[in-house]
Structure 1
Amino acid sequence: MKRNIIYIGLLSLSLLSINSCNTDRFPETTISDGNFWNSASDVKLAANFFYTTLPGLGTSDVTVDNWGTFAYPNDKGNSISDGSRVAPATTGDYSYSNIFQANKLIEMAPQVIAKGADATEVNRYVGEARFFRAWYYYNMLIRFGGVPIITKTMQINDPDIYKARDSREDVLKLIYEDLDYAISVLRAPDQIQAAKEYGRITNTAALAFKSRVALFEGTRAKFHNYGNYREHLMLAKDAAEKVIKSGMHALYSTPSKGDQGETVNNAYYNLFQEEGEGRVNKENIIVRLYGVNDANNISSSAVQRYLEGNNIVPTNNFVSQYLMVDGLPIDKSPLFQKPNANMTHAEFFKGRDPRMGFSIFKRGDEYISSTNYTIPNPTLQRSGYGIRKYANKVAWASQKSYIDRPILRYAEVLLNYAEAVYELNGSISDADLEITVNALRARLPQVNIGTDTHPNFVNMAKLTNSFVTSNGLNMRDEIRRERSIELGFEGLSYWDLIRWKTAEIELPKTLLGSYLFKDMLEGGWSKSTKVDANNYIILQDKSLRTFDPEKDYLWPLPLAEIAKNPKIEQNPKW
């Protein structure tokens, strides 16, 4: 459902223009503070800037899964997984320009209140600024570890410009403090009534993000063996539980109408389409807004181009994680038919978790307008798989999409809760599984495991303790699998490998594409395509992939920062 959107201007005001992203260059605004910071509307205008910094559907945001094993960018791989990465001179990932803007708003808010502005309203925008400051520090923390903490605006002569890195514990302390403040002053989703306000950060958004932060740090500390992991896992559990109990959010489960007016249960697919936008979808907690059309938009996204041309293609390493509808992995399920020379690409999807078909293109799917998907082909999707999640057939030809990007949704909160509970206790009750993993499966459509003439539609099997025990499964693995499947291509998988300390196992593996099916050969694939012993396309051999556990769990700091500030120490082995 389309709706009027919050107009977040790009703010060409020099108030918000930054000439450098480094800590030692914080220019004064050319609009004097006295002329601007006079009303709550001014503070709101400044806060609007932060929404333009949310990750969108640009290449760097969509292709984050390339860094791990879910996806593959092209025939050259990428420097993060092939060992060719070096410490950069500069990088936008290590940036204080947005933190400067947050600090500026926080500092100026008391003056605006002193001039007579409504304190409650102004403090809401302070809450937004502190939420985003936490967001910016978190995204540096997961990459670099501890970084210098800057909580005030500074000029070139400020002695704190050249300070050493703070510990990751201190950075986390600031993140939690900022989020707790945001939680205390921001409105609940049902208190934001005006349509033009849709998309603003709410108190449940701050709680949900806190659960993400705390789960990352709790599991990272647990598996990397440092710190008090239980403290963080308790915060993750409690924050997620508060979102659940708030009643403000729910899984999106609205079906669509088919061409003949029939009900089509494709809610999971529609989460990433126009149907899943706006207030009607209570699953979306944080979204990056794009707009409605050329006349009513913030910006557009050429997401179709990012999903074509080998910018990002799914791997079989990821696709093989999809369960059969009986709840069993493909190596355990009697429903799984091992690929063979007589099978088609579409038959490989039969009997699988429906999210596979909603997320991955199979031959025969609608592709552009009303035609069928006659690829994957070796030019556009060399893995033999294409990403269907985010793909919008209407926008494909124009290369201009206004579909909003879900950044944090209720499904993640449920999975955060399930994982935190398990990692705290070494177990999870069936009751907790019912409200988390099984709630996600319950919204999926039935799957026909019979034939067209003799159909047999069944529901996706539930995950229970007895099911795990009787089938020789591992509960931790199944909770992680559910997360990977539900949140695939949403920018989280690489960071999951980092926090679980499994990157050193997964990243050096050979990346495989699809089985080379007969209809792929008939559709232009060469018989000389490089395949493994089981006829799966080889995207990148393990000999070309590497991960050094003593080095690669942290990213290198930019060399320019170290050169300018001798107190900044580089991460180990970089």
Structure 2
Amino acid sequence: MKRIIYFSISICLLFLSSCSLDEMPQDSVTKETIFGTEKGLQTYSYSFYNMLPSVADGFRQDAMSDYGAVTSFDNFIREGAYSAELSSGWSWSDLRNINYFIANCNSEAIDESVRNHYIGLARFFRAYFYYTKIVRFGDVPWIDRPLTIDDELLYAGRDSRTVVMDHVLEDLNYACENISLAKDNTGSLVTKWVAYALKSRICLFEASFRRYHTDLGLTNTVDKWYTEVISASEVLMNESDYTIYTGAGEDASFRALFINDKPVTSEVMLASCADAGLAILGQANWWWTSGTYGARFSMIRTFVNTFLNIDGTPYTDRAGYETMQFYEECQNRDKRLAQTIRTPGYKRDGALVPPNFNGYSYTGYQPIKYTLDASKYDAGALNTNAIPLFRYAEVLLNYAEAKAELGTLTDADWTNTVGKLRTRAGITGGVNNKPTKVDTYFQENYFPDISDPVILEIRRERSIELALEGFRFTDLKRWKCGELMTMRWTGIYVPALNVQMDLDHNGTMDVIFYKGEKPSGLPASCTPVSVGDGTQQGLTGSTSGNLTWSDADPRIWYSNGRQYYYPIPQSAINKNKNLKQNPGWE
């Protein structure tokens, strides 16, 4: 949604919701104007979209994840650095805006089906709002009406997640049944299909959180939530015309979803769109190429190793994969690898460009998923590409995971979900039959407690297909795998120090790694990188090995599991004695 278009509208609505709920604003826009016409309801509903990720930040939602080495990691996973005094996110203004709309959308001058459509939109966003709160804090107060200054709910305690999530499911069902918009060619509006997609997403989170967090005592309710995932996904799969986009071929279709100016609406169900004419532009290039503005997010080798060979076999089944150099390890792989990071053959401004060790990459695995290939977009908020927020691919993965967890996934289901995604990625083997063999590398490094090869492969597929789209940390929390956030940050294999390396085999030397005295007499193209003592950049061995980053600054996942929730901000507890702090953060 183009936020600037609706800036003045949002200001008006903020005015409406910031005064007493019975007070009429002294302005040309009146309560009757808003709630007495279909156009007024539409105008108000645009304010809800401000809750969604925007072109300004939607491309960096996985900034905190297990597979990304960054300049400085979040204090949340730094020992002793995070507390209730530093916590944030306990904001309820969006909910008040939604509840005010629902309470006042009752004019009989408007057809009931129209009113129900807009109430459906509001309840979609209320479900989305509460989902984000449950993911962050766990139990939260359920509030479904606009509050007055003396309302007792202002000082309510936290309701249980079962109460809140049952209400969220009610909102989702209402949205699915009443949102009448079935197709939006711009890809920027919530349709009934987006409502089903959100239901699929939220129900999968709740099902798996209850399954793997057995301390909640809710495992007897798990099947219900997985079944809701399946039913919502099946409606989309059987009744909508969404499909997996393949129009740009195996080498480009996947990345095209993220670098097109207009959403690829055959697969992208909802996107945040840029508009150069209205000065609504993104910052993806700036973030992913700058050595100073962004986090210098660099993927790690353990994750890159999980991309399959093109024939569908594990990359780590290759003899000598541990010491395979960058060029060789990128050959004959899942074609999403070359559409996710810079690999040999990647071009910018028409010229071959290797990973940038001159002020960006720490590991050699530099993401390109959201970046435009012309460097003119690098120096500010200049990106014109739309940011997908809901994709049909996610729905297929939700469906596959839910059925696998229930033990009902068939070979046909596999073919129509994971198989479709792998086929787009050029993978030739294992797309028509469920896997029967566990990949021990993937299992041991990521999910040692999972022995089902189908669930393991669906998790692999989800991590690769949805990388950098904002799902990873939430997935790790719902699977109760937060300890992966402490995984060592490693990079490309360096066979020897003080040897110039041509990373992409184009005849130009790109980088040299050294200890001690800085090499001299290098070609301008060759970046010297110190891996000596006293630097954050290192090697796993003394004179050769994988690059490492930030070994001396360890990340922590507390054994008491407190980081599966953020603490309630202390400022909120100080104001409301009925709020109780999350365990471990007291």
- Asked whether the two chains share a fold, i.e. TM above 0.5, the reply is yes
1:526 maps to a residue whose letter is S
Is the Cα–Cα contact under 8 Å of residues 187 and 270 in structure 2 kept in the other structure?
no
Structure 2 residue 369 is the aligned partner of structure 1 residue 389: yes
SS at the partner of 1:552?
helix
Counterpart position of 1:166: 159
1:487-566 equivalences in 2 (<5 Å): 487-504=466-483, 506-516=484-494, 518-519=501-502, 520-521=511-512, 522-526=526-530, 528=532, 529-533=537-541, 535-541=545-551, 544-550=554-560, 551-566=562-577
Matched, 1:281 2:265: yes
* 1:453 alignment counterpart: none
Q: Find the partner of 2:307 among 305, 311, 322.
A: 322
**What does residue 507 of structure 2 align with?**
none
Are residues 1:211 and 2:200 paired? yes
Match of 2:336, SS state, is helix
1: CA distance, partners of 2:287 / 2:77: 20
Rounded Cα–Cα distance in structure 2 between residues aligned with 1:125 and 1:143: 27
Structure 1 counterpart of 2:581, one-letter code: Q
Aligned residue type for 1:508:
T
Partner of 1:454: none
Match of 1:348 in 2: 329
* CA displacement 1:236-275 (0-9 Å, x = unmatched): 111111111113211111126xxxxxxx741111111217
Residue 524 of structure 1 aligns with an amino acid whose one-letter code is: P
Aligned counterpart, 2:210? 221
1:201 aligns with 2:179: no
Q: Take 1:386 and 1:173, find their aligned partners in 2: how far apart are those partners?
A: 42
Partner of 1:360: 341
Q: Deviations over 1:39-86 (max 9, x none)?
A: 111111110111232112445x44443423121221x32212223442
Distance, in Å, in 2 between the alignment partners of 1:421 and 1:48 is 35
Do residues 432 (structure 1) and 421 (structure 2) align? no
Match of 1:70 among 45, 61, 67: 67
1:209-358 equivalent positions in 2, closer than 5 A = 209-225=198-214, 226-227=217-218, 228-255=221-248, 265-274=251-260, 277-278=262-263, 281-291=265-275, 293=276, 295-296=277-278, 299-308=280-289, 309=291, 311=295, 312-333=297-318, 337-340=321-324, 343=325, 345-358=326-339
Return the offset for 1:464.
2.6
Alignment partner of 2:190: what SS? coil
Distance 1:315 1:19 in 2: 48
Work out which of the residue numbers 168, 174, 179 in structure 2 matches 1:181.
Answer: 174
Q: Do structure 1's residue 373 and structure 2's residue 353 form an aligned pair?
A: yes
Select the residue among 452, 455, 463 that pairs with 1:476.
455
AA at the equivalent of 1:561: A
Contact 2:33 2:40 in 1 (8 A): no
> For residues 91-130 of structure 1, what are the structure 2 equivalents within 5 Å?
93-110=89-106, 113-114=107-108, 116-130=109-123
Structure 1: stretches of 5+ with no match in the other structure = 257-263, 447-458
Query: Are residues 375 and 434 of structure 1, via their aligned partners in 2, closer, same or farther at CA, if it must alter by over 3 Å?
Result: closer
Q: Tell me the equivalent position of 1:451.
A: none
Identity %: 26
CA shift for structure 1 position 147: 0.6
In structure 2, how many angstroms separate the alpha carbons of the residues matched to 1:10 and 1:553? 35
Determine which of 433, 448, 451 is the counterpart of 1:464.
433
Q: How many Å separate the matches in 1 of 2:435 and 2:162? A: 39
Alignment correspondent of 1:81: 77
Query: Can you list the C-alpha shifts for 1:13-58, whole angstroms capped at 9, x where unaligned?
Result: 543227999xx99896735524543211111111011123211244
5+ residue gaps, structure 2, are 441-450, 496-500, 503-510, 513-525
SS at match of 1:530: strand
Moved more, 36-45 or 91-100: 91-100
Q: Give, in angstroms, the shift of residue 163 of structure 1.
A: 0.5
Does the CA-based 8 Å contact 2:127-2:172 persist in structure 1? yes
CA-to-aligned-CA distance 1:413-462 (integer Å, 9 cap, x gap)? 0000110001112x63211100000011112247xxxxxxxxxxxx3542
Q: What is the number of equivalent residue pairs in this alignment?
A: 529
Q: Distance in 1 between matches of 2:439 and 2:299?
A: 32
Partners in 2 of 1:346 and 1:461 — Cα distance?
25
Residue 92 of structure 1: CA displacement? 5.3
Deviates more, 1:306-315 or 1:96-105: 306-315
Residues 71 and 318 of structure 1 are in contact (CA less than 8 Å); yes or no, is this contact kept in structure 2? no
1:444 aligns with 425
Shift in Å, 1:281: 2.7
For the 8 Å contact 2:87–2:566, the answer to whether it is kept is: no
Q: How far, CA to CA, are the matches of 1:20 and 1:188 in structure 2?
A: 27
Alpha-carbon contact 1:27-1:155 (below 8 Å) kept = no
Cα separation, 1, equivalents of 2:142 and 2:240: 35
Cα displacement (A) at 1:507: 2.0
What is the identity, as a one-letter code, of the residue corresponding to 1:119?
A: E
The amino acid that maps onto 1:224 is H
CA distance in 2, matches of 1:12, 1:5: 12
Which residue, 11, 14, 19 being the options, matches 1:17?
Answer: 14
Looking at structure 2, the residues matched to 28 and 220 of structure 1 have their Cα atoms a distance apart, in angstroms, of 43
Q: Contact 1:57–1:301 at 8 Å: present in 2 too?
A: yes
> CA separation in 2, counterparts of 1:67 and 1:20?
34
SS at match of 1:326: coil
The residue identity in structure 2 corresponding to 1:16 is L
- Residue 52 of structure 2 aligns with which residue? 54
1:43 maps to what in 2? 41
Structure-2 change in CA distance of 1:13 and 1:235 (3 Å): closer
Q: What do residues 269-308 of structure 1 show as CA deviations (whole Å, max 9, x unaligned)?
A: 1111217x34x532112212223x2x156x2111112113
What do residues 516-562 of structure 1 show as CA deviations (whole Å, max 9, x unaligned)?
Answer: 37233243333534111361111233871210142111111111110
